[in-house]
Structure 1
Amino acid sequence: MKIRFFILLFSIASYSFDGNSQALIDDKDTTFIDIGGAVRFNTMYTIYEGETSPLPTENRNGFFWDTWRFEARGQTKNIGIDFEYRFYPGFNTHFVKKAFLYHDFSDNLQMQLGVTQVPFGKLEFSGNSWWFHLPYYFGLEDDYDTGIKFKWQKENWTYHFAYFLMAEPRGVSEPGYGSFPSARYSYDVIPEDGYNGNKERNQLNGRAEYEKGKFLMGLSAQFGEIYNSNNDDSFNQWATAFHSQYALKEEAKIKFQFTHYDYPNSLDDDGNPVNHVNMGAYGFNTYQVASSASTFSLGLSYEYNVDWGPFLA
């Protein structure tokens, strides 16, 4: 059991500059670059029951520098780039969150090539809290992988089609601290702890979403391969989700998602059947996830705009 209390002390929103902000909105052929970032400090009080914590309690309580990030986005005519790199001093790790080239074929069709968000479930994510929802820890919420993605919009519909060759690149974690293979932004099947060869490969994603007025709903499907480089064997993985959202009013929204995933015939390095897969992120040690599960998630959010001097939201 673990209890954590977080207080966000302050955050600096990303800052961007360009020659003429209105021109960027009105004229898509205008060349621009946006450069920004953010920092976050936390105060934390943590209680762990037992001695299973990968992070000693005495090193986690108090006031500390939680996160800082650098981001850049640029475009010339219908070609652009989108990049974000994150540092987590409290976790002793840093990594790429996203890094892709995009091309607008038209106002309704865009291609993204590189490290980009996997189109699955409610986008940008279904969770409302620092902890996200359970699908996040299954690698099915706010997941980023390396590949190519197409987004097509037609009237009230938005479609995504994507192929991902592999997971996002591994970042950097301090030697002797946590897990080096899990130094990454999103949770993935990673090679460690008796499953040293297991890696995500050749994943296909399809997503359709309908939105009209205050209501939206969508379906997602995913199919891919888990390849073991140690024994040159592989097994499949697949997942599906239904999501919906209803705006009670402009500031308040309620979200629902059903998710099911399966890693049939999952294997370890020796080719033995197992009923779990190893996953990791943020430089923590790996943990075992059931090879098949279904989840239901429900969330309510309320946005409150503030104007406190330099703090705008």
Structure 2
Amino acid sequence: MAQEKPKVDFGGALRFNYNLSSWKPEQKRRGGDFGYDMFRVNAVATYQDIYVNAEYRFYSESFGGGMLKQGWLGYKFNEMDEIQLGLTQVPFGIQQYNSHNWFFNLGYYMGLEDDHDMGVKFTHAGKKIEYHLAYFKNAEELRFGNDSAISHSRYSYDVAGNNKEVNQVNAKLSYKFGNFLESRAGFSVQYGGLYNINTAEMGNHKGFALHYEFDYRKWNLKSEVMLISNNPENETGVSDEIISMAAYGAAYDVAADFNLYTIAVSRDVPVNWGPVSNLQFYNDFGYMQKQNVSFEDSFMNVTGVGIKAGNLYTYIDYAAGYNHSWLGGNFVDDFAEGNPDAKWEARFNINFGYYF
């Protein structure tokens, strides 16, 4: 019998970005900045029930340069069950995204949305019940030194500095129900170690999430509650109330223990405006409640519209943040101690992306 030939599909995207930020006076005098965002290459190769899925991204050097967003070897047992090995998405909360906008929702900045780590994951996607079981040896490792901190050149946020994520287990269960209101409700749990390079001691981190999502005609709603705790074994004099997290070439501090509440709603409006076929209006909100009462809480809200015109997709966003590292204030510790005298800051952003 003739052997089935392997099949390879390539794709990618090229994106440009315009932004105007309230906390940048010189930029406001220029009328904002317009420039390069990202170029990416996607590849999916299949042979019978074995496949490879990979995505590599190229950002500017100041945003981390080149990085592998995801990449895994997969095997499909049947239409519902498969296993993935490699840099695969962590099954925690609503997937693939808990947001509709270009900025994601607040949890992304703590490694809780579209996070990818190195490990193995089993997925069962039934008509009513969906569950994921996973073990992650560590976050994506690029240095392989005896006592090397993780590289900051990464797509998704991971614990950085003197602590490293190791031996993490995840479980996620979702139940699909409803005809008039198509709903998905479920919960996620995760537990793993935090190895401290300086003390050679093992701390831990854990998380629990409840999530609910529904689709009704042209409407979509995503909602989550997350309880997050990090317990590092730091050296004397270093606070256990703060952890360092990194992505896009830079690190910042995050409160070790917090609750996160998010709600995101969208409405599709089909149109027939030349190449434009759909408008998606949305508002995505996130609230980070820090457990240390001396820390100032963080907020984020993004209002915008996504415009689909063939393979061109454009996000027009007004992103506002309070004690948000990427939206004004002090980048280093807004998500940790914060500033009680902080103001809400905002960024008007237009992202143009051609996907092929």
Please give the TM-score of this superposition, normalised by the length of structure 1: 0.78
2:22 counterpart SS class: strand
Q: Of residues 17, 39, 49 in structure 2, which corresponds to 1:68?
A: 39
1:263 aligned onto 2:230? yes
In structure 2, give the amino acid aligned to 1:227: Y
Aligned to 2:154: 184
Counterpart CA distance in 2 for 1:69 and 1:142 is: 16
Q: Which residues of 2 match residues 273-312 of structure 1 at below 5 A?
A: 273-284=239-250, 286-304=251-269, 308-309=274-275, 311-312=309-310
Deviations along 1:49-89, one digit per CA (max 9) or x if unpaired, are 69xxxxx9899942201111011001010000000001112
Deviations along 1:248-297, one digit per CA (max 9) or x if unpaired, are 21x21111110110013x2334475520101111112x211111111111
Q: Which residues of 2 match residues 10-21 of structure 1 at below 5 A?
A: none
- Number of residue equivalences: 266
Are residues 76 and 222 of structure 1, via their aligned partners in 2, closer, same or farther at CA, if it must alter by over 3 Å?
Answer: same
1:142 counterpart SS class: coil
Are residues 170 and 155 of structure 1, via their aligned partners in 2, closer, same or farther at CA, if it must alter by over 3 Å?
Answer: same
Where relative contact order (Cα < 8 A, 6+ residues apart) is larger, the structure is 2
Aligned to 2:65: 93
Deviations along 1:177-219, one digit per CA (max 9) or x if unpaired, are xx9832100011012xxxxx31110000000011123111111
Q: Percent identity?
A: 32
Aligned to 1:253: 220
- Contact 2:127 2:176 (8 Å CA) reproduced: no
Q: Which residues of 2 match residues 210-221 of structure 1 at below 5 A?
A: 210-212=175-177, 213=179, 214-221=182-189
Q: Of residues 174, 194, 198 in structure 2, which corresponds to 1:230?
A: 198
Counterpart CA distance in 2 for 1:155 and 1:190 is: 39
Aligned to 1:165: 137
Are residues 168 and 302 of structure 1, via their aligned partners in 2, closer, same or farther at CA, if it must alter by over 3 Å?
Answer: farther
- Contact 1:159 1:206 (8 Å CA) reproduced: yes
In structure 1, give the amino acid aligned to 2:211: H
Are residues 61 and 183 of structure 1, via their aligned partners in 2, closer, same or farther at CA, if it must alter by over 3 Å?
Answer: farther
Measured on the aligned residues, the alpha-carbon RMSD in Å equals 2.7
Counterpart CA distance in 2 for 1:298 and 1:222 is: 21
List alignment gaps of at least 5 residues for structure 1: 1-28, 51-55, 172-178, 192-196
1:253 counterpart SS class: strand
- Contact 2:170 2:190 (8 Å CA) reproduced: yes
Aligned to 2:329: none
- Contact 1:170 1:182 (8 Å CA) reproduced: no
1:136 counterpart SS class: helix
Higher mean C-alpha deviation, range 273-282 or range 77-86: 273-282
Counterpart CA distance in 2 for 1:30 and 1:58 is: 58
Cα shift at 1:302? 2.4
Counterpart CA distance in 2 for 1:187 and 1:58 is: 32
Please give the TM-score of this superposition, normalised by the length of structure 2: 0.69
List alignment gaps of at least 5 residues for structure 2: 144-148, 277-308, 312-356
- Contact 1:199 1:226 (8 Å CA) reproduced: yes
